[in-house]
């Protein structure tokens, strides 16, 4: 009887190992002071512009870092106020300006450095509308997590990635920066 049990256990274990982990669902939420909020259950949220008054809510949602991709010169950007609110709420704050019209690989390098640092996730990533935030997460999935392009794109699209130009930039970046 013992050999049958071990064979059954081995078969169950091999099936469990062969089945890939299920992707998390993207959840869309409406939160006062946050534009276009989309989040994965545990790892990341991507959104558009936020108001500093919404930062304590972000902390209550369980995020430990706040990554702002807006350029300080963008309409509605409030980098200093947001940074102060993040620090007051006990969040790690990172400002990584990323221009969608002329994307800079150095900004992506910095984002990858930040998102892979100790205690960076779960991370709340935002820009003006949410597209750049989702694109940066797309790049992270390709470069760090080694997801295939289709899977990573589906998730990023659900999080708010809409720009074909940024998608092309992201794929090119990933092809030359794989970790």
Provide the pLDDT for residue 120.
93
Percent of the chain, pLDDT > 90?
A: 75
Is position 101 within any domain?
A: yes
Residue 32, domain member (yes or no): yes
Stronger pLDDT, 24 or 69, i.e. the higher one: 69
Residues 6+ apart with CB under 8 A from 48: 34, 35, 36, 126, 127, 128, 129, 130, 133, 160
**Per the domain annotation, does 3 fall within a domain?**
no
pTM here? 0.82
8 domain residue, yes or no: no
Residue 41, domain member (yes or no):
yes
Whether 13 is in a domain gets the answer: no
Secondary structure (3-state) at 77:
coil
Structural domain range at position 96: 24-177
Tell me what pLDDT residue 28 has: 86
Specify the pLDDT at position 38: 86
CA 82 – CA 91 distance, rounded (Å): 11
* The pLDDT value given to residue 141: 96
Interacting residues of 33 by C-beta distance below 8 A, sequence separation 6+: 50, 51, 53, 54, 57
Q: Is residue 103 part of a domain?
A: yes
User: Does residue 56 lie within any of the structural domains?
Assistant: yes
For residue 10, pLDDT beyond 90: no
pLDDT digits (tens, 9 = 90+) for 77-130: 999 999 999 999 999 999 999 999 999 999 999 999 999 999 899 999 999 999
CATH number of the domain residue 97 falls in: 3.90.190.10
Domain count across the chain: 1
The packing angle between helices 105-115 and 164-177, to 10°, is 70
Q: Report pLDDT digits (tens) over 42-58.
A: 679 999 999 999 999 99
């Amino acid at each position: 009887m013992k050999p049958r049990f071990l064979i059954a256990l081995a078969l169950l274990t091999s099936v469990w190992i062969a089945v890939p982990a299920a992707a998390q669902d993207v959840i869309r939420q409406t939160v006062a002071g946050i534009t276009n909020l989309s989040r994965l259950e545990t790892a990341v949220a991507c959104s558009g512009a936020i108001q500093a008054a919404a930062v304590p809510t972000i902390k209550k949602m369980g995020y430990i870092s706040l990554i702002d991709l807006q350029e300080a010169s963008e309409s509605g950007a409030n980098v200093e106020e947001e940074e102060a609110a993040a620090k007051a709420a006990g969040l790690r704050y990172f400002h990584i300006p990323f221009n969608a019209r002329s994307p800079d690989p150095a900004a992506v390098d910095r984002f990858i450095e930040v998102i892979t640092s100790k205690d960076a996730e779960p991370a709340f990533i935002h820009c003006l509308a949410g597209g750049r935030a989702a694109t940066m997460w797309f790049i992270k999935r390709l470069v760090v997590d080694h997801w295939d392009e289709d899977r990573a794109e589906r998730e990023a699209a659900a999080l708010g990635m809409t720009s074909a130009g940024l998608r092309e930039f992201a794929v090119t970046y990933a092809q030359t920066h794989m970790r």
